[in-house]
Amino acid sequence: MMFCPNILQGKCVMIKEDRAYVRVSTKYETQKDSPEHQESFIKECAAREQITIRHVYLDRDTATNIVEREDVKKMISDAQKGYIRSLWFASLSRFSRDALDAITLKRILVNALKIRVVSIEDGYDSAKKDDELLFGIKSVVNQNTSGDISISSRRGIRQSALDKGNIIASKPAFGYRKVTVDKRRTYEIVPEQAAIVELIYELYIDEGFGAKAIVKYLNGDNPQKTVYDSYSGKLWSLSTVQAILENPTYTGYNVAGRYKSEIAYDDITDLMNRRKKLVKNPPSEWEWSKEMTHPAIIPKERYDRATEIRLSRGGRGGRREFVNVFAKMIFCAHCESAMVSMSSIGRGGKRYRYLMCSRRRRLGEAGCPNEKWIPYEEARDELISEILSRISKAIEKFESSGTEELAISIPVNDFEKEKRKLEKRIEGNRKLLFEIRRQHMLDEIDKVQYEFEKEQYEKEIADFEQRLVRILAEEKKVVDLERLIKAAKKTLRELTDITSYNDDVERTRTLLNQVVKRIYVNGEDITVETYI
C-alpha cells in the first residue's frame, strides 16, 4: 500500500500499487523461467512505461485448482480490497495453463475489478485493448502446450526407468535405500527391513495368513511377542502390508505405468474446483523392464504366487470390479464413512447382498451408532428410479423455463446489460471519490464531511464490485449448466437403456457418478444429492 503526501496540508492520500505475479513449477533455479528472471523481466518492461513494481506475488504452489494457491488467493483478496492498479505477468503460461481458469480470472480482474492486466510476452494489455479473443487463443495454446510437455515428460520418465534402469520413485520401497551407481539411480538392500518383507511373503504364501493376520503378527501378536519396526516407526497397518504384497519392485525389476493421474472435480458446477488424484492401472497395463535393475528381495515366482493367492481369496488385482452401483457415492450420515456392500447366504443357498456402514462393520457400535443395513437390490432399484425421475424433471424445467428454474437469478440476455450498468456506476463513483479527495486536499470540504462521503462511495464501489463478480459467476454458471444439462440428457438416455443393473454394474456406476454427488444413509432416511 502506498500513500501520497500532500506537502502543503501535511496529509496523505492512499493510492493503488502496480504489482507483478511470478510463478515457477520446477526445482531448477537456473532456468530462464525462474522467479528471479520473471521478476527482473517484468520490472524492466514496466520501467519503460515509468511504472514501478511495488510488490511481487511469488507462486510456488503445486495445487491443480488455481484458486487454492495461497499467493493467488492473496492476489485476488488484495484486488478486491482495491490495493492493485495494474498486474503484470511475464507470460500467461506462467499464470495458468488451463484456458477456463485463465479466462475466468481475467474477467474477475479486468472486467469486474477494473484492474489493468499486462501479459508481456503475449502482447496483451487490457489498458490498450481488452482483447478477450487474443487472451482466449493464448490460453488454449498454453493449455495444449502444457499437455504436450506432460506427455513428453512421462515418456522420458518411462524410458529412464525401463531402458536405463533408473529408480524414479520419490521414496524408496520398504527394504531398500537409494544409491547412485555409475551415475544410475538404483536401490541397495537394507537387510533388517528386507528380512521383514521376506517374513510377510512367507506368512502369506507358506503359512496361509491373511493380510489382517499379518498386521497383528507384526504388531506383536506372535509367539515371541516381537513388535517389528515399520517404515514410519508406528504400528503396522493393513494398507502397508497390502502395498508390500502388491509391489513388484521387490522382484528386482522396474515397472512403469502402475498409476495414472486423473483430474477429479469436487463440484461439477464449478469447473475451477478440481484436484489431481492417482489411479491404479490394472496389472495388464504395467510395463516391466527387460532386465533386472536392482537387487531382488522376493523372487519373481514368489511375487506371482502371492498375486495368485490374493486373487483366489477375492483380493483385487488392479482396478476393483464393483458389485455395488453406488460404490464411492453412498455414505453413512453419522460418521461420513462409506456404506459398503456385504453378502450372506440364506436358506436354499441363495446369496443376499446388503449395504452397511464400513466403520460400524470394522469397529462396532463404538465406531458408529448407525446399525442400519439396507437390502441392496431393493434400495438400488428405488434409488435409481428416483434419480432418473429427478434428472428428467430438472431437464424439463431447464428446457421450458431456462435458468430461472435452476436458481439462476438473472436471465442470460440481461447479463451484458447488467454488467455495463454496474461498470458505469463503479467508474462514476471512482470519479466522485477522486473529486472529494481533491476537495479535501484543497480544504474545500472539512474532514468530517470528507470521511463520511469517502466511506459512502467506497461502500457503494465495493457493493457494485461484488455484484459484478456475482454476475460473472452467474454467467459462467449458465455456461456450465448448459454443458451439464447436455451431459445429463446423454446419461439419462443411457441409464434408461440398461436392462439389468446386475449384469452391467460398472457401466451403471459410471453413469450414476456423472449425475449423483452423494447419497447419505441415516437410519430409514436416504438423501440423494444430484448435480442438477
CATH number, domain with residue 278: 3.90.1750.20
- In a domain, residue 29? The reply is yes
Residues 13 and 120 in one domain: yes
> How many Cβ atoms from other residues are within 10 Å of residue 380's Cβ?
22
Residues 246 and 385 in one domain: no
Residue 318's pLDDT is what?
42
- In a domain, residue 267? The reply is yes
Residue 136 CA to residue 122 CA, distance in Å, equals 11
Of 260, 279, 312, which one is at a domain's C-terminal end? Answer: 312
DSSP E strands in 358-435: the ranges are 374-375
Residue 325 CA to residue 502 CA, distance in Å, equals 9
Of 312, 331, 365, which one is at a domain's C-terminal end? Answer: 312
Residue 357 CA to residue 148 CA, distance in Å, equals 43
Which position has the grid cell 503526501?
5
Give Cβ neighbours of residue 162 (< 8 Å, ≥ 6 apart). Answer: 254, 256, 287, 288, 289, 290
Residues 467/422, Cβ–Cβ less than 8 Å: yes
- In a domain, residue 320? The reply is no
Residue 481 CA to residue 485 CA, distance in Å, equals 6
Residues 232 and 264 in one domain: yes
Number of alpha carbons in the 13 Å side-chain half-sphere of residue 372: 17
> Structural domain of residue 98, as residue ranges?
2-143
- In a domain, residue 317? The reply is no
Residues 120 and 215 in one domain: no
Phi, psi of 387 (to 5 degrees): -65, -45
Residues 194 and 139 in one domain: no
- In a domain, residue 324? The reply is no
Residue 158's pLDDT is what?
57
Which position has the grid cell 428454474?
405
Residue 410's pLDDT is what?
40
pLDDT along the chain (532 residues), means of 10: 48 73 61 75 92 88 60 84 90 66 79 88 85 65 50 55 68 89 85 94 89 89 88 86 92 81 57 63 83 90 90 58 83 89 79 86 77 88 90 81 48 66 86 84 84 86 83 66 76 84 83 88 87 76
Specify the length of the chain in residues: 532
Which position has the grid cell 449458465?
478
Measure CA of the first residue to CA of the last residue in the chain; give whole Å: 44
Residue 274 CA to residue 268 CA, distance in Å, equals 9
DSSP class per residue in 116-145: EEEETTTTEETTTB--HHHHHHHHHHHHHH
Residues 43 and 137 in one domain: yes
- In a domain, residue 344? The reply is no
- In a domain, residue 326? The reply is no
Of 312, 328, 361, which one is at a domain's C-terminal end? Answer: 312
Residue 154's pLDDT is what?
55
Residue 164's pLDDT is what?
64
- In a domain, residue 369? The reply is no
Please name the residue ranges forming H helices in 163-247: 191-205, 211-218, 238-246
Beta-bridge partner residues of 526: 521
b/e sequence 501-528, b meaning 16+ C-beta within 10 Å? beeebeebbebbebbbeebbbeeeebeb
**Rg, C-alpha atoms of the chain:** 30
Give Cβ neighbours of residue 458 (< 8 Å, ≥ 6 apart). Answer: 82, 433
Structural domains of the chain, count: 3
Residues 420 and 499 in one domain: yes
Residue 138's pLDDT is what?
61
Residues 86/127, Cβ–Cβ less than 8 Å: yes
Residue 490 CA to residue 518 CA, distance in Å, equals 20
Enter the C-alpha cell of residue 19: 504489482
Residue 4 CA to residue 146 CA, distance in Å, equals 43
Residues 200 and 94 in one domain: no
Residues 122 and 179 in one domain: no
Cα angle: 357, vertex 361, 367; to 5 degrees: 80
Residues 23 and 74 in one domain: yes
Residue 315's pLDDT is what?
55
Residues 131 and 178 in one domain: no
Residues 123 and 178 in one domain: no
